[in-house]
């Protein structure tokens, strides 16, 4: 879209203000994390720390099992992503390409589950974990998250766009359904798989309520839940809290910078295919 020259500076101005509005809180987090406690509550307020000291990071790292938080978060993310991709793509292939009695009814029923808010399932999930003796384990973090109707719906749309001749040709060559799925169709919907992987990873990364409910030992928490608990204990020591926040947000920001195109495609996909 071409824009008249006289408006350009105005657009720049608005965008700079907007960027500052988004970036500001992040900057304030980083700046505060390098301040001493005394500096953070000094009146009148000082903008920058006198010395950029890293003591808060050292303290937070020693006080909380951050290494476990990282490990748990990424482990759970990996299991949920791989599990969902596998389970959803298999089902999506069947719904898109195979004929079987009850196909449309089953698919519609699955779709209707998407309308149910997740909190409906929270108490029963908790009780299931109690029965399986999985409360306060890492397994409890990923097990109920493996099954995504949205994932099936999205991948099915992509399978539907592929030409039928692919299946037919492979069938004539003697390939079974599993081969057609795994070796022929799946590689062709790789962009959709990447998008779903990123979306799922982001959802898992952000989830707060479930890990907070199901696990209570510090070494069984994710970054998100770890921050949630920490807030209760050290809420007034903001430089410490901000250092913890920095430690919790940087991995995904780095991933975002590296894979920006895929992130944007992934998030955008939720909108365009609906």
Partner 1 sequence: MLQRKRCSRQARREAVSAYLFILPLLLGLGVFNVYSFGVNIYYSFTNKSSFGIPNWVGLKNYIDLFQNEKFYSALSNTFKYVVICVPCVVILSIFVAVLLNTNIRGRGVYRTLVFLPAVTMPAAIGLIWKWIFNYEFGILNHLLSGFGIEKIAWLSDPEYVLLSVCVVVIWADVSTRVIILLAGLQNIPDVYYEAARIDGANSAQIFFRITLPQLSPSIFFVTVMEIIGIFQIFDFIFLMIPRSSSGVSHARSLVSYFYEAAFQEYKKGYGAAITLVLFLIILVVTIFQMWMQKKWVHYE
One-character DSSP codes across 79-117: HHHHHHHHHHHHHHHHHHH---TTHHHHHHHHHHHTTS-
Q: Choose which of 8, 50, 168, 217 interacts with partner 1 (CB under 8 A).
A: 8
Site for partner 1 in 171-230 (CB under 8 A): 176-178, 181, 202, 205-206, 208-209, 213, 223-225, 227-228
Environment class of 147 (CB within 10 Å of its CB; exposed 0-12, middle 13-18, buried 19+):
middle
Note whether 256 binds partner 1 by CB under 8 A.
yes
Site for partner 1 in 94-123 (CB under 8 A): 94-95, 98-101, 103, 106, 110, 113, 115-123
**Closest listed residue to residue 114, CA positions, set 84, 150, 82, 145:** 150
Site for partner 1 in 9-28 (CB under 8 A): 11-12, 14-15, 18-19, 21-23, 25-26, 28
Site for partner 1 in 145-174 (CB under 8 A): 146-147, 149, 152
Question: Near partner 1 by CB under 8 A, which window of 50-58, 133-141, 186-194, 261-269?
Answer: 261-269
**Does the N-terminal peptide bond of residue 44 adopt cis geometry, omega within 30 degrees of 0?**
yes
| In contact, 224 and 238? CB cutoff 8 Å | no
Q: How many chain residues are in contact with partner 1, going by CB under 8 A? A: 97
| In contact, 253 and 182? CB cutoff 8 Å | no
Least Å from the CB of residue 94 to partner 1: 4
Q: At 18, list the tokens.
A: 């907007």
- Residue 129 or 138: the one with the smaller Cβ distance to partner 1 is 129
């Amino acid at each position: 879209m071409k824009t008249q020259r006289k408006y350009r500076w105005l657009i720049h101005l608005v965008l700079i203000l907007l960027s500052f509005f988004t970036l500001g809180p992040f900057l304030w987090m980083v700046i505060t994390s390098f301040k001493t406690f005394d500096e953070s509550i000094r009146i009148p307020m000082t903008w920058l720390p006198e010395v950029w000291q890293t003591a808060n990071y050292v303290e937070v790292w020693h006080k909380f099992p951050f290494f476990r938080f990282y490990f748990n978060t990424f482990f759970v993310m990996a299991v949920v992503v791989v599990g969902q991709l596998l389970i959803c793509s298999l089902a999506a292939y069947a719904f898109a390409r195979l004929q079987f009695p009850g196909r449309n009814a089953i698919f519609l029923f699955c779709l209707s589950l998407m309308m149910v808010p997740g909190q409906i399932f929270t108490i029963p999930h908790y009780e299931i974990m109690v029965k399986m003796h999985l409360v306060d384990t890492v397994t409890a973090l990923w097990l109920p998250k493996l099954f995504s109707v949205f994932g099936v719906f999205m991948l099915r749309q992509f399978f539907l766009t592929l030409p039928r001749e692919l299946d037919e040709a492979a069938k004539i060559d003697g390939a079974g359904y599993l081969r057609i799925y795994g070796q022929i169709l799946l590689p062709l919907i790789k962009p959709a798989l990447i998008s779903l992987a990123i979306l799922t990873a982001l959802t898992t990364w952000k989830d707060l309520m479930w890990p907070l409910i199901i696990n209570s030992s510090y070494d069984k928490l994710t970054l998100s839940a770890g921050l949630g608990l920490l807030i209760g204990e050290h809420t007034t020591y903001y430089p410490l809290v901000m250092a913890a926040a920095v430690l919790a947000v940087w991995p995904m920001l780095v991933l975002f910078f590296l894979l920006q195109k895929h992130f944007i495609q992934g998030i955008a996909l939720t909108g365009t295919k609906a």
